[in-house]
């Protein structure tokens, strides 16, 4: 009942902003809700209730636009909160993560730091996570340059993820970066961060986990940690901020549903278990809590448009003097009230408030038995146009058909020619990818055999074939990179005397090969797309002493 009472008080305040008593009543009711939720230990709902109270108490009514936005946010939260409590009663399953988006929206409005998705997840950090076996330490003077290259690889991958471009290959680059960091900093205090980051990124890619706002924050925070590592700022111990990051990475592992031995061992180390729900389930339940689906919103928008059309017709007849005042004004009041109620449900607070003011005027006309002036009729028509525009923004899905138009404008012979060319390109790119896979397997066998050159005798031949593909496709930058790779193999790897730093040389060369691999994957859909990923290969070859000449 208190939630219903709070919702009513909020609605009354929105309708009459001058009545601050209604706002205070709403705050008192929400404080009572928060206290009850604290007693019954429903943490996420309690936190949401308390942040709603803080936001309501911080409203600055002199800033109308900001107040409208904040009241809209409070209205949405008041809609979600009872639905979450209903969900708990029906399912007997606590999923506090469902309310994280709403809590964070309110915290953002209050200029407070947002929570991670793992905020209500509690790993045990008492036992340190140590690397198995000995760590490989590059020489100190090379370390900063190496981490700089690793960070560049990570940043290119992160950019792809944030822009939703080639997400899987981008995650692959980020995984490679974190694995390299866990190797070269195997003895450092931040080793758990790099290792868990590698495992979490691996699960995001393999299980198709959603790239939520919380996960974007974690992935971006890892980039900042890489920046600190370049400066040599290695943490002496894990800070609370590091533990927050570790908690989110462990949460991703627990949520992945993966049952592989490596994941289970990690969760067990931190006194955790796999979660009994999946990422897909959380997405589904969040959508249910938020209210109507996109299709439902479109249907509601259509209903609102019909109601607004009826209201405009009544006003048009009124302006022409053909209105039956009692009957038509009653219909107009009923129609406007229906529209205002729906606007409140979907969170369009400002248009709803503007419409409610006009309803008050129409009710007054009805009591007086006469219409308002021409100016007043014009004003209500303007408000209806404003509401209609807001409703349109809710219901529209502006789907672009540029590509379809371009396709329709091409002659049939052009379409066929382009299709045949594209098929040929895909075939040769596939051959180059197969070649790179052979190169990677050869390098792996070379390392595992203690540098037996028999495993890499044909690597130069394979790379020459890949260089031919690059030349045929008119990709000079890619061709130059492959040439640098051939030079390294023939000049360094095939030399009779193995370098004492062969492990590090192979890791750096592997970065170049992987960069080429992602480049080929990227050009499948668009041959002359952005080739920034080749920067990683160029930097790696330069570090090996074979700078690429473009």
Note the pLDDT tens digit of each residue in 399-438: 333 433 443 343 434 434 454 556 678 888 889 999 999 9
Q: How far is CA 435 from the centre of its chain?
A: 34
**How far is the CA of 471 from the CAs of 464, 474, 533, in angstroms?**
10, 5, 18
Q: Taking all residues of the chain, what is their mean pLDDT, rounded to a whole number?
A: 83
Distance, CA of 192 to CA of 129 (rounded, Å): 6
Token digits for 326?
A: 């009692």
The SS3 assignment for 371 reads coil
Residue 319 CA to residue 379 CA, distance in Å, equals: 12
SS3 state at 96: helix
Is the CB of residue 233 less than 8 Å from the CB of residue 176? no
Which of 148-157, 209-218, 269-278 is predicted with the least confidence, judged by mean pLDDT? 269-278
Cβ atoms 417, 410 nearer than 8 A: no
Least confident of 88-102, 128-142, 257-271: 128-142
Residue 94's Cβ-side half-sphere holds a number of Cα atoms within 13 Å equal to 10
Fold for 292-395, please state it.
1.20.120
**Interval 331-384: pLDDT, tens:** 888 888 888 877 776 667 777 788 888 888 888 887 877 777 778 878 888 888
Residue spans of beta strands (DSSP E) within 176-226: none
For the four alpha carbons of 251, 255, 256 and 261, in that order, the dihedral sign comes to: positive
- Residue of 76, 85, 75 lying closest to 42 (CA atoms): 85
Distance between CA atoms of residues 51 and 493, nearest Å: 62
Query: Could you give the maximum distance between any two Cα atoms of the chain, in Å?
Result: 106
Predicted local distance difference test score (pLDDT) of residue 403 = 38
Question: Fold identical between 292-395 and 408-543?
Answer: yes
- In the predicted structure, residue 51 carries a pLDDT above the cut 90: yes
Q: What ranges do the domains of the chain cover?
A: 2-109, 140-288, 292-395, 408-543
Rg (CA), the chain: 31
Please say if the pLDDT value at position 260 is more than 70: yes
Interatomic CA distance for residues 294 and 299, integer angstroms: 9
The answer to whether the beta carbons of residues 11 and 63 sit under 8 Å apart is no
Domain boundaries 408-543, CATH class: mainly alpha
Q: How many CB atoms lie within 10 A of CB 254?
A: 22
Rounded CA gap, 388 and 36, in Å? Answer: 40
pLDDT at position 507 over 80: yes
Higher pLDDT pick, 157 / 404: 157
Higher-scoring residue by pLDDT: 355, 483: 483
Contacts of 211 (CB under 8 A, 6+ apart): 161, 164, 167, 204
Give the residue ranges of DSSP H helices in 20-109.
Answer: 20-39, 43-57, 64-91, 100-109
* Predicted confidence (pLDDT) at residue 237 exceeds the cutoff of 90: no
For the chain, how are helix, strand and coil distributed in percent, rounded to 5? 75, 0, 25
- Cα–Cα–Cα angle for 56, 59, 63, rounded to 5 degrees: 155
Q: What pLDDT score was predicted for residue 416?
A: 41
Question: So what's the pLDDT on residue 408?
Answer: 37
Can you give the pTM of this predicted structure? Answer: 0.70
Summarize the confidence of residues 188-210 as an average pLDDT: 92
């Amino acid at each position: 009942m208190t939630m219903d009472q709070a919702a009513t008080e909020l609605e009354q305040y929105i309708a009459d902003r001058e009545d601050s008593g209604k706002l205070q009543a709403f705050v008192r009711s929400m404080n009572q809700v928060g206290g009850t939720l604290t007693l019954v230990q429903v943490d996420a709902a309690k936190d949401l209730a308390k942040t709603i109270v803080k936001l309501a108490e911080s409203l600055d009514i002199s800033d109308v636009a900001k107040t409208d936005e904040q009241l809209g946010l409070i209205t949405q939260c008041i809609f979600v909160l009872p639905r979450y409590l209903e969900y708990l009663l029906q399912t007997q399953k606590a999923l506090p993560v469902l309310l994280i988006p709403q809590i964070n929206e309110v915290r953002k409005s209050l200029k407070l730091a947002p929570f991670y998705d793992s905020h209500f997840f509690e790993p045990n950090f008492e036992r340190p996570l140590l690397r198995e076996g000995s760590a490989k330490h590059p020489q100190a003077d090379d370390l900063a340059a190496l981490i700089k290259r690793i960070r560049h690889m990570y940043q290119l991958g992160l950019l792809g993820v944030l822009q939703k471009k080639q997400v899987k290959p981008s995650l692959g680059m980020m995984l490679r970066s974190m694995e390299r960091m866990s190797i070269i900093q195997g003895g450092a205090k931040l080793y758990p961060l790099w290792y868990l980051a590698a495992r979490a990124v691996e699960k995001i890619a393999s299980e198709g986990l959603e790239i939520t706002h919380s996960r974007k924050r974690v992935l971006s925070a890892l980039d900042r940690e890489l920046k600190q590592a370049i400066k040599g700022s290695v943490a002496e111990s894990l800070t609370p901020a590091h533990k927050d990051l570790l908690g989110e990475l462990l949460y991703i592992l627990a949520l992945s549903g993966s049952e592989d031995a490596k994941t289970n061992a990690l969760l067990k180390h931190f006194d955790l278990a796999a979660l009994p729900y999946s990422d897909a389930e959380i997405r589904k339940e969040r959508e249910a809590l938020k209210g109507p689906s996109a299709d439902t919103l479109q249907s509601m928008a259509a209903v609102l448009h019909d109601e607004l059309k009826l209201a405009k017709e009544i006003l048009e007849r009124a302006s022409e003097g053909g209105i039956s005042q009692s009957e038509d004004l009653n219909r107009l009041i009923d129609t406007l009230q229906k529209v205002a109620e729906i606007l409140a449900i979907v969170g369009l607070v400002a248009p709803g408030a503007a419409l409610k003011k006009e309803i008050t005027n129409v009710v007054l006309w009805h009591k007086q038995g006469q219409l308002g002036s021409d100016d007043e009729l014009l004003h209500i028509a303007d408000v209806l146009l404003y509401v209609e525009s807001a409703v349109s923004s809710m219901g529209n899905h502006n789907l672009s058909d540029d590509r379809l138009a371009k396709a329709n404008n091409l002659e049939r012979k052009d379409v066929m020619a382009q299709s045949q060319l594209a098929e040929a390109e895909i075939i040769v790119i596939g051959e180059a990818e197969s070649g790179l896979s052979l190169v990677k397997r050869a390098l792996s066998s070379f390392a595992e055999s203690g540098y037996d050159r028999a495993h890499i005798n044909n690597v130069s031949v394979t790379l020459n074939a890949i260089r031919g593909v690059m030349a045929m496709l008119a990709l000079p930058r890619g061709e130059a990179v492959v040439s640098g790779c051939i030079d390294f193999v023939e000049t360094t790897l095939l030399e009779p005397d193995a370098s004492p730093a062969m492990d590090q040389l192979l890791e750096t060369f592997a970065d170049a090969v992987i960069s080429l691999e992602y480049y080929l994957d990227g050009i499948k859909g668009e041959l002359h797309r952005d080739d920034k990923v080749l920067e990683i290969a160029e930097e790696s070859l330069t570090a090996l002493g074979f700078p690429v000449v473009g």
